[in-house]
Structure 1
């Protein structure tokens, strides 16, 4: 019998728990082939939590998937907590999990914010990383964060009403993030905090929809899958907006999840992910010089994280260690489940 109690049929059925001291319990899932190549799968956000869709690029008949909820995210407890919650702590959690599983090395699959955490982990523990597949790399730049929060990433046709937003578009980004933190940190949020969380959710959703739409406009030949993804995203937007209007100032389970998510996200973004200026470039350098191969996959129409992020880091790796990096630009936006991006991720993950 294997030391891993994993299952290919329903890897999400059993949630596991790793106590990390103080208040924190890390929730994580294990699935796939117990004897397969291990893949650590990192969710985005920060604060989003893991979901079964993250496993789509893997072949669970020959891969072992390890999927944690980062501190305060998803089912990790305390939910929404920012106490002792920073990037170095997340890296420590992952290394403790690796040791508990008795794995010598593992590969990393990550998207969006997850790419920041993957690079931070690989910088701290390069000898423990077999290879990495990184989608929609996030650079923690003012352009990315500000573009999302001021609505620029959503586009004019996908603008979101400013009700309950804590500051006008002209306010500097640090001041806006500080105000969002203040609104969202309360254990009993006021109507303004609830409104801010709802609007942030719509901004995220509609920025993703914009990338989908731009990809669809540029499509050639069959676009059925792209149209289906676009229609699904627009239905999600409409349901979300309608639900917020129906609920008004009343808080339900969906709102509580949003408040927890954006409490963590505002905490991290205000502090630029707890990464010092130039920190991600240094991490990429360490990864390249350590000989860790990286496949960068990025939607060419990503309205959240610009493709230039992956282009730049791919070029940096190739200068330092030729042949260590590959770059795939897909006809897609930011989301990992968009057809062209998912196909590219599957090709990169399943090649070995």
Structure 2
């Protein structure tokens, strides 16, 4: 975990800035590290999560510059939780507006999970502006990934939670489920059902991440140094979420408000499959390879959210098109970027000249 005071003497996050994207949207973004250092654009997952300090962990803030926006409607960007004119093409346009605002010729991108979709979309649209990509836990927007979290995993005994906010059975069509969740979460005056939907989604998400961590801990060989504290912290988060699920709703509760906003954005994007046409990610990988943009793929071998096969397939595709332009690293870890082996791999990839 990065403290509020790092080697720069200014803290990893300096004052939050805002960029006008045209009414009604304003994008919040943060700067960190060395103002004259190698620029890195950090893209958060979610969708809907917002930037946080853990995104900085792979960087050397003494020689690298971190630029971390909250994607449209996410985090501190305004209007918070808004899905109006919120789609992947708009997010790509927002990032390019930020680059121009900063006066940067090129930057490198570090992204994880949903952020890898946005990173590939940006690099496809603006390859001349991308130095290189480091992509962790690549997300394919597949039915297996989305349904596995919201339907299949939810029906397992270890992932059961109280309440019947939505059915766990795979007999319910995934688009219908996502449409129902989006409807529940769109309300400006949140009802109990919407509140419980957001809490349940957060709990399922946390437990899926924990499942990958646990499988990594049980893997062959000695326990990875530092893995047990990370696992313990994840379990504490899961217990808090489980306890919170049973609390009575409070419209002014900031945690509940943040969850509703996050999953409002997420249900919007997942319902529309990330606003990416079928085969779109394959085409983006192809375009990136043919443009000569290098990509380092890093993936937890026990990732229970985004299958490791995603990174394996796309790295193989790149290798066929542009041999030697990409690399693939599997780590003894689950989905999260701060798990020790994954974090070490990211630091190695980000740190190379």
Q: Same fold (TM over 0.5)?
A: yes
8 Å CA contact 1:80, 1:264 repeated in 2 = yes
Give, in whole Å, the separation in 2 of the partners of 1:192 and 1:243.
14
Cross-structure match for 2:140: 139
Q: Distance in 1 between matches of 2:231 and 2:136?
A: 19
C-alpha deviation, 1:350, in angstroms = 0.4
CA distance in 2, matches of 1:131, 1:155: 40
| Aligned mates of 1:299, 1:157 — CA distance in 2 | 24
Shift of 1:219: 4.5
The 2-side partners of 1:121 and 1:136 are apart by: 17
Helix, strand or coil at the partner of 1:41: strand
| CA distance 1:238–1:24, shift in 2 (3 Å) | same
Q: Which residue of 1 aligns with 2:52?
A: 51
Q: Give the drift of 1:164.
A: 3.8
Residue equivalent to 2:3: none
CA distance in 1, matches of 2:254, 2:152: 26
| 1:238 matched residue in structure 2 | 239
CA distance in 2, matches of 1:151, 1:207: 11
Can you list the C-alpha shifts for 1:125-146, whole angstroms capped at 9, x where unaligned?
0000000000000000000000
Q: SS of 2:42's equivalent?
A: strand
What are structure 2's unaligned runs of at least 5 residues?
A: 1-7
Q: 1-side partners of 2:327 and 2:224: how far apart?
A: 26
Taking a change above 3 Å as real, the CA distance of residues 63 and 250 of structure 1, as seen in their structure-2 partners, is: same
1:22 aligns with 2:23: yes
How far 1:73 moved relative to its partner?
Answer: 0.4
Aligned to 1:89: 90
Residue of structure 1 equivalent to 2:221 = 220
TM-score normalised by L of structure 2? 0.95
Aligned to 2:313: 312
Q: SS state of the match for residue 226, structure 2?
A: helix
* Deviation of the 1:31 alpha carbon: 1.2
CA–CA separation in structure 1 for the residues paired with 2:225 and 2:293: 37
CA offsets per residue over residues 245-267 of structure 1, 9 Å max, x none?
Answer: 2x223331110000000000000
Match of 2:151 in 1: 150
Query: Does structure 2 conserve the Cα–Cα contact (< 8 Å) formed by 1:29 and 1:66?
Result: yes
Q: SS in structure 1 opposite 2:134? A: strand
Whether the 8 Å CA contact 2:150–2:168 is kept in 1: the answer is: no
- The match for 2:248 is 248
Shift of 1:332: 0.2
Q: Which runs of 4+ in 1 moved over 4 A?
A: none
Alignment of 1:157-196 (within 5 A): 158-161=158-161, 163-169=163-169, 170-196=171-197
Partner of 1:332: 333
Does the 8 A contact of 1:71 with 1:77 survive in 2? yes
Deviates more, 1:162-171 or 1:56-65: 162-171
- The CA deviation at 1:11 is 3.0
Contact 1:8 1:60 in 2 (8 A): no
Gaps of 5+ in 1: 1-6
Cα shift readout 1:57-78 (whole Å, capped 9, x = no counterpart): 0001110110000001000000
The aligned residue for residue 263 of structure 1 is 264
Give the RMSD, CA atoms, in angstroms.
1.5
For 1:106-117, list aligned pairs within 5 A: 106-117=107-118
Partner in structure 2 of residue 3 of structure 1: none
Report what 1:299 is aligned to: 300
Distance (whole Å) between structure 2 residues aligned to residue 155 and residue 108 of structure 1:
36
* Residues matched between the structures, number: 345
Cα drift, residue 150 of structure 1: 1.3
Bigger mean CA offset, 26-35 vs 214-223 = 214-223
TM-score w.r.t. length of structure 1: 0.95
CA displacement, residues 215-249 of structure 1 (integer Å, 9 cap, x when unaligned): 0000412434112111111111111211332x223
- Paired residues of 1:151 and 1:160 also in contact (CA < 8 A): no
What corresponds to 2:210 in structure 1?
209
